C-alpha cells in the first residue's frame, strides 16, 4: 500500500462536535481530510479540483463545465455510464458537482455502510475516465439545456453582464457555462475536436497535487485513511502550480462607470462595486466583515433605515466576494422603489456620507468585539448539517488554505480573532469614488444601445459625471440620520444547557401540556443535541384570513407590513442567529422564532406586541403594495419548473387561489381596505404552539402565559368556524394548459401527476414511496441523460393536504405534448425493467427506502421541522415513518408489480392531472434525436430495447452525414447502413430482416412527420377552475391519527401541575 503523512489531527472544532479529524497527504501530494463520525447514518465524500472556468481555453468557453458533466459518464473500471448513479441510488444516495471560477467540486452521499464501494467508483473519475464519444454530444446538449434554463434569469444575466464589462485581460471576463455554439458549432467550423481538447484540458489541469479530498464515514480514522490511500494514490501527480491571474479584473478603464441595464422581471435595483485586495492573508482580523456589518446594518442610523423612511428602498445588502488570488470586490446592493430610482444619485451621495462618517469615527473596538464574540459563539455551538454539504464545503475551503493560515484553524476560519484598526482603515480607503462603478437596473430603461454577447441583456455604459465624482470626494458628514448602531440587545449571555440525566433513546413525539378552548401547547425538550438554542412555532387559526381571495391577499400584505415595521429590531436579532418569520397558512398565519433561547422570548414579545397593536401607515402601505405587485408579476417570469407546482396545487386544494387573481386584487387594494380588515383578524383565534429545544415545561407554560396576556380578550373559535383541510379527489383524467408570461422563455414545463388515494392507507403510501424509489434513477437516466429532454427532470411522490400520488416533472425546450408522450413511454417501458428486477436489487431498494425513512435528524432545526410539520398538517402523525417502515418490511416484488399495474399502467382508469406550462417560443425537436427515439421505441415494442447498444446507436446517427431532407430514401439508406454494425447484442440478424427494416422505416417517417402521437395531450381540458372543482368531490377532512388526549402530559394537564 502506498504511504502517506499525517499533517495534523488537532483541528479546532466546535465544542459539541463528536467527530474525529485527520488531515493527511498522499504520496501523490493529494491532501485529504478524513472524518470519523460515530453516529452518522450517511457517509459522504467530496473532491475539489483547483481548476475552474478561469482555465477555459479562449476558443472553448464552458470547457471546464463540460468536463464536469462528461467525467460522470463512465470509467475504465466501471464503464457503464450510470454505474455510479445507480450504485448511489440503490443505497439512498445521490451525487452532484459544480464548476466555479477557480474550482470544480464533486461530491456524493449514501448510506454509511456502502462508503467503500462508492469511494472506489468516485476515485476512478480522476484516474481513468472514459470521456465516451457516445456521451459527448448528449452532455454538450445537457450543458446547453442548463444554459438555456438560465437565459431569462436576471441573476445570471446581470452576473454575466458584470463579467463581460470587466477587463478582457482577466479571465473574470469569460462566459463560463458554455452552450451548443461554444462547445459544438463553432469548434466544428474551426476544425476543433472538442473531445480531444477536453482530454487535453483534463490531462493538463487535473493533477493530484491540486486536489483536496474530504471523506466522512462511521468507520474509524485508520480505516478511512486506508481506503483513501488505496483508492486515491493512483491519481496522477503532474506537479502543477495553482493558476495565478495577475491582472486586475477591473482597471481604471472599467471603473467610474454608470451601467444601465434592462431586466426581464419588474425589478429596480442599484449596485455599487469597489475593487479591493484579497483578504485571505488577513484571516485573523477579516476587515471586510467590519464594513459589511455596518454598511449592511438595518437598524436606526443605518443606510437602509434612512432609505426606507424616505421611501427609496426596500432592501440593502453588502459584502465582499473573492475574484481570484490578490483581488476581491466589495459590493453594496439596493432594492429600489420607483421613488428610489428617481433619486439614485442622492442614494449614492448618502452612501459616501456614511463612509465619511465611518472614517471620522475611526474603527470602534467595541463593534469588532461584538462581532468577534458572535463569531466565537456561532462556531462554538455549531451543529451538524447535511453530510454532502459538509464535505463539499470543506474540500473547497481546504483548497483555499494557503501558507498564512495554519491547518489547525482550517475548520474555524469564520472566527474573528484579532482587532487590527490599521487594517480596517486601510480596507476602508478602497471604498472611495475613484474606485467604484454603478449598475442601475430598471425595466423602464428603453432604447439602450448595447446587447451583452451571451444573454442579450440590453444595457448602456457611460462615464460617471466628473462633477458628481468631485461632489462625492468632497462630501462631508452632514446627515444626522446616519450614525453608528447601538450595542446589540439580543446578544445572549446565558449558554447553560439543561440536560436531563439518563435520557435513553430520544423521544420522537412531543407532549401536550395545555389544551383549552383558546390554545393548545405542545412541548419537547432537546434530548439529543444539547445546544443553548430553541425553536418556537405558533399557529394562529383564523379562518377569515383565507376565506376569500380578497382576504388572502389582505393577509399577505398585513404580514408583510408587520415584518417591515419590525425590520430594525429583527435585524439586530438576526446578527446573533435569532430569527423569526410570519407566513400565511391554509386557515390563518404562523409565527416561527428560533435561535439562542436566552433572548428568544424577548424577540417573541416584540413580535406579538406588533401583532396585537399594529397600525399601518398609508406611506408604508403604498411602498409594500408596490413591492407585492412586482412580486406577483415577477412570479410569471420565474423558471417554469418553479411556477408549475403553484398551478397544480391550486387546482387540487379546496381554498386556494391563483396568483393571477391576487395580482388583480392587489392592484386595486386601498389602504382603507386593510385598516378595516385588521380588526377582523384579531377578533377570534385559536392558537396552537410548539415549544422545542433548551426549555423546560415551566418555560413553555410561561410562553403560554405570554400568549394568554396578549390575546386573552380575543374570543375563541366555535367548532363550525374551523376551516378543515381538504383536497380534491380526482374522478377522471384532466389537463390544465397555461401559456407562460415571458415571451422570450424558450422552456416549457409539464407536471404529470397520477393521484392514488387519500392519505390514510399505509400500504398504498409505502408502495407509492417504493415506486418513487425504484423509478428515480431510471427516470432521470432515460428522460434527461439519454433522451436529453431537458436539464430539469424530477420524479417522486407528491402529497396534497389529504391525497397522494406520483409525479414526473420536466422543463424542456420541447413541447409539453411531446414531453407527455415521452413520460408515458417511459412508464410503459419501465414495467419490463421492474419485471426483470432481481430479488437482490428489489431488496436493496427497500433497504434504501427504509434507511431514508429512519434517517436521524442532524440538528435541532431538522427535528423541529419534522414535528412542527406533523402538527400543522393536522394529522399529528409523529410515528408515521416508523409505521411505514414496518409495512415496507413486509412488501414483496409482486406487491409492487400489482400496484404499478393498477395505478401507473391502468391508463383507462387513472385519476390524473397533467399541468402544461407552454412556452410562447418552443423549439422544434431535432430530426436526428427523433430518429434515435423512434428506433428505440420500435425496439421496445418488440421487447428488444434492452438488446441494443443505445450509446452506439446515438453515435452512428450523429456521425451519419448523408441526411439532408430526412426523406424516406435517406431514412432507408441509413437503416441499410446499420445491417453490419452489430448494434443488437443478442440478435444481429434482425437488422438484416427486410420486413423488420420496412416497418422500422415506416415508423421513423411517421414519427418525423408527427413526433407526438395524436392522442396527446390527453385528458379533459380544464377551461374553468371552478367547474373543475365543482365536478370533483372533496376528500374527508384531515383528522388526528389518534385522540390528542393520549399526548397529554400525566404530570401537567392544562398547565396545572398534578404533583
Contact 652, 728 (CB under 8 A): yes
Residue 542 within a domain? yes
pLDDT digits (tens, 9 = 90+) for 790-811: 999 999 999 999 999 999 999 9
Q: Is 68 labeled as catalytic in the residue annotation?
A: yes
998: Cα within 13 Å, side-chain hemisphere: 3
Residue 184 neighbours by CB under 8 Å, 6+ apart: 137, 140, 194
Model confidence at 606: pLDDT above 50 = yes
Based on the fold, state whether residues 275 and 317 are members of the same structural domain: yes
3-state DSSP call for residue 601?
A: helix
From CA 268, how far away is CA 270, in angstroms rounded? 7
Instruction: Between 1054 and 127, name the one with better pLDDT.
Output: 127
Q: Are strands 1020-1021 and 733-739 parallel, antiparallel or unpaired?
A: parallel
Based on the fold, state whether residues 641 and 670 are members of the same structural domain: yes
Instruction: Report the 10 Å Cβ neighbour count for 779.
Output: 21
Mean pLDDT of 330-336: 98
pLDDT digits (tens, 9 = 90+) for 223-240: 999 999 999 999 999 999
Based on the fold, state whether residues 26 and 69 are members of the same structural domain: yes
Residue 1036 within a domain? no
Looking at the DSSP bridge assignments, the partners of residue 334 are 270, 316
The residue out of 416, 446, 473 marking a domain boundary is: 473
Written as one string, the DSSP assignment of 274-296 is EEEE--GGGTTT-HHHHHHHHHT
Based on the fold, state whether residues 745 and 836 are members of the same structural domain: yes
Domain extent for 468 = 257-382+404-473
Sign of the dihedral defined by the CA atoms of residues 662, 667, 668, 671, in that order: positive
Mean pLDDT of 321-344: 96
Q: Cα Rg for the chain, rounded, in angstroms?
A: 30
Based on the fold, state whether residues 348 and 431 are members of the same structural domain: yes
Q: Is residue 1017 reached through a cis peptide bond, with omega within 30 degrees of 0 on the bond before it?
A: yes
Written as one string, the DSSP assignment of 236-273 is ----PPPP---S-SS-TTTSSEEEEE--SSS--EEEEE
- Angstrom distances, CA of residue 416 to CA of 171, 286, 290, 320, 530: 31, 7, 10, 16, 25
From CA 836, how far away is CA 855, in angstroms rounded? 29
Instruction: Report the 10 Å Cβ neighbour count for 785.
Output: 20
Q: What's the gap between Cα 466 and its chain centre?
A: 43
* Cell numbers representing residue 347 in the block: 442614494
Report the phi/psi class of residue 765: left, alpha or beta, with left for phi > 0 and alpha for psi in -120 to 50.
alpha
Model confidence at 953: pLDDT above 50 = yes
pLDDT of residue 985: 60
Contact 573, 507 (CB under 8 A): no
* Cell numbers representing residue 661 in the block: 387573481
Contact 549, 555 (CB under 8 A): no
Binning pLDDT at 50, 70 and 90, where does residue 1059 land?
Answer: very low
Mean pLDDT of 76-85: 93
Phi, psi of 210 (to 5 degrees): -100, 5
pLDDT of residue 670: 98
| Residue at grid coordinates 414545463 | 749
Based on the fold, state whether residues 39 and 143 are members of the same structural domain: yes
Looking at the DSSP bridge assignments, the partners of residue 595 are 534
Residue 606 within a domain? yes
Model confidence at 284: pLDDT above 60 = yes
pLDDT digits (tens, 9 = 90+) for 140-180: 999 999 999 999 999 999 999 999 999 999 999 999 999 99
Mean pLDDT of 548-571: 96
From CA 277, how far away is CA 1052, in angstroms rounded? 61
Contact 774, 719 (CB under 8 A): no
297 closest CA partner among 270, 273, 316, 321? 316
Binning pLDDT at 50, 70 and 90, where does residue 91 land?
Answer: very high
Mean pLDDT of 371-400: 96
Binning pLDDT at 50, 70 and 90, where does residue 945 land?
Answer: low
Model confidence at 1054: pLDDT above 60 = no
- Angstrom distances, CA of residue 1054 to CA of 340, 350, 1039: 52, 55, 22
Angle between helices 697-711 and 600-613 (to 10 degrees): 20
Counting residues of the chain whose pLDDT is more than 90, the rounded percentage is 82
Report the phi/psi class of residue 256: left, alpha or beta, with left for phi > 0 and alpha for psi in -120 to 50.
left
Based on the fold, state whether residues 823 and 861 are members of the same structural domain: yes
696 closest CA partner among 525, 536, 528, 861? 525
| Residue at grid coordinates 378543515 | 724
Mean pLDDT of 11-37: 97
Residue 1053 within a domain? no
Instruction: Report the 10 Å Cβ neighbour count for 671.
Output: 15
Residue 760 within a domain? yes
Mean pLDDT of 775-802: 94
Residue 577 neighbours by CB under 8 Å, 6+ apart: 374, 377, 378, 595, 596
pLDDT digits (tens, 9 = 90+) for 198-213: 999 999 999 999 999 9
Angle at 966 between CA 963 and CA 970, to 5 degrees: 65
Model confidence at 788: pLDDT above 90 = no
Contact 1010, 817 (CB under 8 A): no
Residue 489 within a domain? no
- Angstrom distances, CA of residue 412 to CA of 8, 37, 378: 15, 18, 10
Binning pLDDT at 50, 70 and 90, where does residue 848 land?
Answer: very high
For residue 1043, with 0-12 CB atoms within 10 Å meaning exposed, 13-18 middle and 19 or more buried, which class applies?
exposed
* Cell numbers representing residue 636 in the block: 410569471
* Cell numbers representing residue 730 in the block: 380526482
Based on the fold, state whether residues 1026 and 990 are members of the same structural domain: no
pLDDT of residue 400: 85
pLDDT of residue 281: 92
Report the phi/psi class of residue 276: left, alpha or beta, with left for phi > 0 and alpha for psi in -120 to 50.
beta
Q: Are strands 588-596 and 1056-1057 parallel, antiparallel or unpaired?
A: unpaired
pLDDT digits (tens, 9 = 90+) for 636-681: 999 999 999 999 999 999 889 999 999 999 999 999 999 999 999 9
141 closest CA partner among 180, 181, 196, 197? 180
* Top-ranked range on mean pLDDT: pick from 112-121, 679-688, 924-933: 112-121
Our count of domains for the chain comes to 5
- Angstrom distances, CA of residue 398 to CA of 5, 10, 32, 145, 402: 17, 15, 9, 32, 9
Assign residue 300 the CATH number of its domain. 3.30.830.10
Binning pLDDT at 50, 70 and 90, where does residue 1057 land?
Answer: very low
Written as one string, the DSSP assignment of 999-1028 is HHHHHHHHHHH-SS-TT-S-SEE-S-HHHH
Lowest mean pLDDT among 258-262, 584-588, 950-954: 950-954
pLDDT digits (tens, 9 = 90+) for 896-944: 999 999 999 998 889 999 999 999 986 555 687 778 778 877 776 676 6
Contact 111, 848 (CB under 8 A): yes
Element (H or E) spanning 466, and its range? helix 466-473
pLDDT digits (tens, 9 = 90+) for 886-902: 999 999 999 999 999 99
Instruction: Report the 10 Å Cβ neighbour count for 698.
Output: 9
Residue 504 within a domain? no
Contact 985, 948 (CB under 8 A): yes
Strand order in the sheet with 748-758: 792-799, 803-812, 748-758, 911-918, 733-739, 1020-1021
Looking at the DSSP bridge assignments, the partners of residue 24 are 6, 32
Based on the fold, state whether residues 468 and 516 are members of the same structural domain: no
Based on the fold, state whether residues 333 and 468 are members of the same structural domain: yes
Give the active site residue among 68, 109, 146, 254: 68
pLDDT of residue 950: 63
Sign of the dihedral defined by the CA atoms of residues 10, 12, 17, 21, in that order: negative
Based on the fold, state whether residues 1020 and 978 are members of the same structural domain: no
Contact 524, 867 (CB under 8 A): yes
Residue 896 within a domain? yes
3-state DSSP call for residue 1013?
A: coil
Contact 311, 337 (CB under 8 A): yes
Instruction: Report the 10 Å Cβ neighbour count for 321.
Output: 11
Residue 732 neighbours by CB under 8 Å, 6+ apart: 911, 1019, 1020
SS (H, E, C) 158-215: HHHHHHHCCCCCCHHHCCCCCCHHHHHHHHHHCCCCHHHHHHHHHHHHCCHHHEEEEE
pLDDT digits (tens, 9 = 90+) for 428-438: 999 999 999 99
From CA 1055, how far away is CA 407, in angstroms rounded? 52
Q: What's the gap between Cα 696 and its chain centre?
A: 35
For residue 223, with 0-12 CB atoms within 10 Å meaning exposed, 13-18 middle and 19 or more buried, which class applies?
middle
Written as one string, the DSSP assignment of 602-649 is HHHHHHHHHHHH----HHHHHHHHHHHHHHHHHHTTS-HHHHHHHHHH
Looking at the DSSP bridge assignments, the partners of residue 737 are 916
Based on the fold, state whether residues 878 and 988 are members of the same structural domain: no
Residue 600 neighbours by CB under 8 Å, 6+ apart: 534, 536, 578, 593, 594
Contact 920, 740 (CB under 8 A): yes
Amino acid at each position: 500500500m502506498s504511504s502517506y503523512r499525517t499533517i495534523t489531527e488537532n483541528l479546532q472544532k466546535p465544542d459539541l462536535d463528536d467527530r474525529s479529524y485527520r488531515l493527511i497527504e498522499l504520496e501523490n501530494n493529494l491532501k485529504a481530510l478524513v472524518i470519523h463520525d460515530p453516529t452518522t447514518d450517511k457517509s459522504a465524500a467530496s473532491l475539489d479540483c483547483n481548476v475552474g472556468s478561469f482555465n477555459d481555453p479562449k476558443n472553448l468557453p464552458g470547457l471546464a463545465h463540460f468536463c464536469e458533466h462528461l467525467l460522470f459518464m463512465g470509467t475504465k473500471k466501471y464503464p457503464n455510464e450510470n454505474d455510479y448513479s445507480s450504485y448511489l441510488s440503490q443505497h439512498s444516495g445521490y451525487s452532484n458537482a459544480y464548476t466555479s471560477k477557480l474550482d470544480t467540486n464533486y461530491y456524493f452521499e449514501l448510506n454509511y455502510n456502502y462508503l467503500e464501494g462508492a469511494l472506489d467508483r468516485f476515485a476512478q473519475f480522476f484516474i481513468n475516465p472514459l470521456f465516451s464519444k457516445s456521451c459527448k454530444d448528449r452532455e454538450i446538449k445537457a450543458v446547453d439545456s442548463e444554459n438555456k434554463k438560465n437565459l431569462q434569469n436576471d441573476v445570471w444575466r446581470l452576473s454575466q453582464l458584470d463579467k463581460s464589462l470587466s477587463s478582457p485581460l482577466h479571465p473574470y471576463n469569460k462566459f463560463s457555462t458554455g452552450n451548443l455554439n461554444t462547445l459544438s458549432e463553432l469548434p466544428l467550423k474551426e476544425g476543433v475536436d472538442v473531445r480531444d481538447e477536453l482530454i487535453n484540458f483534463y490531462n493538463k489541469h487535473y493533477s493530484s497535487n491540486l486536489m483536496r479530498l474530504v471523506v466522512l464515514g462511521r468507520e474509524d480514522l485508520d480505516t478511512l485513511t486506508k481506503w483513501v490511500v488505496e483508492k486515491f494514490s493512483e491519481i496522477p501527480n503532474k506537479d502543477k502550480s495553482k493558476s495565478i491571474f495577475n491582472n486586475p479584473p477591473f482597471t481604471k478603464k472599467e471603473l467610474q462607470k454608470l451601467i444601465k441595464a434592462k431586466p426581464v422581471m419588474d425589478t429596480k435595483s442599484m449596485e455599487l462595486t469597489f475593487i479591493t485586495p484579497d483578504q485571505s492573508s488577513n484571516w485573523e482580523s477579516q476587515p471586510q466583515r467590519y464594513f459589511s456589518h455596518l454598511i449592511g446594518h438595518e437598524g436606526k442610523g443605518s443606510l437602509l433605515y434612512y432609505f426606507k423612511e424616505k421611501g427609496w428602498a426596500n432592501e440593502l445588502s453588502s459584502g465582499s466576494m473573492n475574484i481570484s488570488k490578490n483581488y476581491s470586490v466589495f459590493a453594496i446592493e439596493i432594492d429600489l422603489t420607483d421613488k428610489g430610482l428617481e433619486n439614485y444619485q442622492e442614494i449614492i451621495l448618502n452612501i459616501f456620507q456614511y463612509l465619511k462618517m465611518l472614517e471620522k469615527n475611526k474603527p470602534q473596538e467595541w463593534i469588532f468585539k461584538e462581532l468577534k464574540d458572535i463569531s466565537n459563539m456561532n462556531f462554538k455551538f455549531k451543529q451538524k448539517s447535511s453530510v454532502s454539504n459538509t464535505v463539499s464545503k470543506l474540500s473547497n475551503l481546504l483548497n483555499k488554505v494557503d501558507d498564512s493560515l495554519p491547518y489547525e484553524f482550517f475548520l474555524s476560519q469564520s472566527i474573528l480573532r484579532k482587532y487590527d484598526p490599521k487594517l480596517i482603515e486601510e480596507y476602508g480607503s478602497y471604498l472611495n469614488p475613484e474606485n467604484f462603478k454603478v449598475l442601475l437596473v430598471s425595466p423602464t430603461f428603453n432604447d439602450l444601445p448595447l446587447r451583452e454577447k451571451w444573454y442579450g441583456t440590453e444595457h448602456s455604459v457611460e462615464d460617471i459625471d466628473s462633477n458628481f465624482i468631485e461632489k462625492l470626494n468632497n462630501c462631508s458628514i452632514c446627515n444626522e440620520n446616519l450614525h453608528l448602531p447601538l450595542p446589540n440587545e439580543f446578544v445572549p449571555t446565558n449558554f447553560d444547557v439543561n440536560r436531563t440525566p439518563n435520557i435513553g433513546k430520544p423521544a420522537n413525539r412531543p407532549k401536550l401540556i395545555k389544551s383549552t378552548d383558546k390554545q393548545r401547547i405542545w412541548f419537547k425538550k432537546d434530548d439529543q443535541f444539547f445546544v443553548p438554542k430553541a425553536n418556537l412555532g405558533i399557529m394562529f387559526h383564523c379562518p377569515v384570513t383565507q376565506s376569500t381571495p380578497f382576504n388572502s391577499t389582505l393577509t399577505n400584505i398585513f404580514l408583510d407590513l408587520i415584518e417591515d415595521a419590525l425590520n430594525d429590531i429583527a435585524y439586530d436579532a438576526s446578527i446573533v442567529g435569532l430569527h423569526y418569520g410570519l407566513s400565511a397558512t391554509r386557515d390563518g398565519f404562523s409565527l416561527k422564532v428560533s435561535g439562542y433561547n436566552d433572548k428568544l422570548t424577548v424577540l417573541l414579545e416584540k413580535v406579538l406586541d406588533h401583532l396585537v397593536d399594529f397600525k399601518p401607515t398609508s406611506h408604508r402601505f403604498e411602498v409594500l403594495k408596490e413591492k407585492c405587485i412586482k412580486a406577483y408579476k415577477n412570479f410569471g417570469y420565474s423558471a417554469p419548473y418553479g411556477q408549475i407546482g403553484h398551478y397544480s396545487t391550486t387546482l387540487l386544494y379546496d381554498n386556494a387561489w391563483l396568483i393571477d387573481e391576487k395580482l388583480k386584487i392587489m392592484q386595486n387594494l386601498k389602504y382603507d381596505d386593510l385598516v378595516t380588515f385588521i380588526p377582523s383578524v384579531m377578533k377570534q383565534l385559536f392558537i396552537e404552539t410548539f415549544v422545542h429545544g433548551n426549555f423546560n415545561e415551566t418555560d413553555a407554560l410561561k410562553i403560554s402565559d405570554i400568549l394568554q396576556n396578549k390575546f386573552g380578550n380575543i374570543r375563541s373559535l366555535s367548532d363550525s368556524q374551523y376551516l378543515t383541510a381538504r383536497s380534491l379527489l380526482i374522478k377522471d383524467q384532466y389537463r390544465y394548459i397555461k401559456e407562460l408570461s415571458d415571451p422570450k422563455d424558450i422552456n416549457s414545463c409539464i407536471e404529470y401527476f397520477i393521484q392514488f388515494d387519500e392519505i390514510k392507507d399505509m400500504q398504498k403510501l409505502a408502495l407509492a414511496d417504493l415506486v418513487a424509489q425504484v423509478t428515480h434513477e431510471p427516470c432521470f437516466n432515460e428522460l434527461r441523460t439519454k433522451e436529453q429532454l431537458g436539464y430539469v427532470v424530477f420524479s417522486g411522490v407528491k402529497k396534497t393536504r389529504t391525497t397522494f400520488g406520483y409525479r414526473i416533472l420536466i422543463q424542456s425546450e420541447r413541447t409539453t405534448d411531446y414531453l407527455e408522450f415521452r413520460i408515458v413511454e417511459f412508464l410503459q417501458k419501465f414495467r419490463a425493467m421492474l419485471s426483470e428486477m432481481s430479488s437482490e436489487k428489489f431488496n436493496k431498494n427497500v433497504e434504501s427506502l427504509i434507511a431514508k425513512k429512519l434517517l436521524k435528524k442532524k440538528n435541532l432545526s431538522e427535528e423541529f421541522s419534522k414535528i412542527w410539520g406533523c402538527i400543522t398538517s393536522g394529522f399529528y402523525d409523529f410515528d408515521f415513518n416508523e409505521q411505514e417502515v414496518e409495512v415496507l418490511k413486509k412488501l414483496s416484488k409482486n406487491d409492487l408489480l400489482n400496484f404499478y399495474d393498477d395505478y401507473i399502467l391502468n391508463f383507462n382508469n387513472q385519476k390524473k392531472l397533467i399541468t402544461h406550462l407552454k412556452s410562447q417560443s418552443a423549439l422544434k425537436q431535432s430530426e436526428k434525436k427523433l430518429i434515435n427515439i423512434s428506433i428505440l421505441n420500435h425496439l421496445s415494442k418488440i421487447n428488444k430495447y434492452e438488446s441494443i447498444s443505445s450509446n452506439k446507436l446515438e453515435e452512428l446517427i450523429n456521425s451519419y452525414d448523408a441526411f439532408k431532407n430526412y426523406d424516406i430514401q435517406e431514412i432507408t439508406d441509413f437503416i441499410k447502413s446499420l445491417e453490419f454494425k452489430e448494434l443488437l447484442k443478442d440478435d444481429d440478424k434482425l437488422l438484416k430482416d427486410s420486413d423488420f427494416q420496412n416497418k422500422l422505416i415506416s415508423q421513423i417517417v411517421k414519427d418525423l412527420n408527427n413526433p407526438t402521437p395524436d392522442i396527446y395531450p390527453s385528458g379533459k381540458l380544464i377551461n374553468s377552475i371552478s367547474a373543475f372543482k365543482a365536478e370533483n368531490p372533496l376528500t374527508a377532512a384531515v383528522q388526528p391519527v389518534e385522540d390528542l388526549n393520549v399526548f397529554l402530559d400525566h404530570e401537567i394537564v392544562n398547565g396545572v401541575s398534578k404533583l
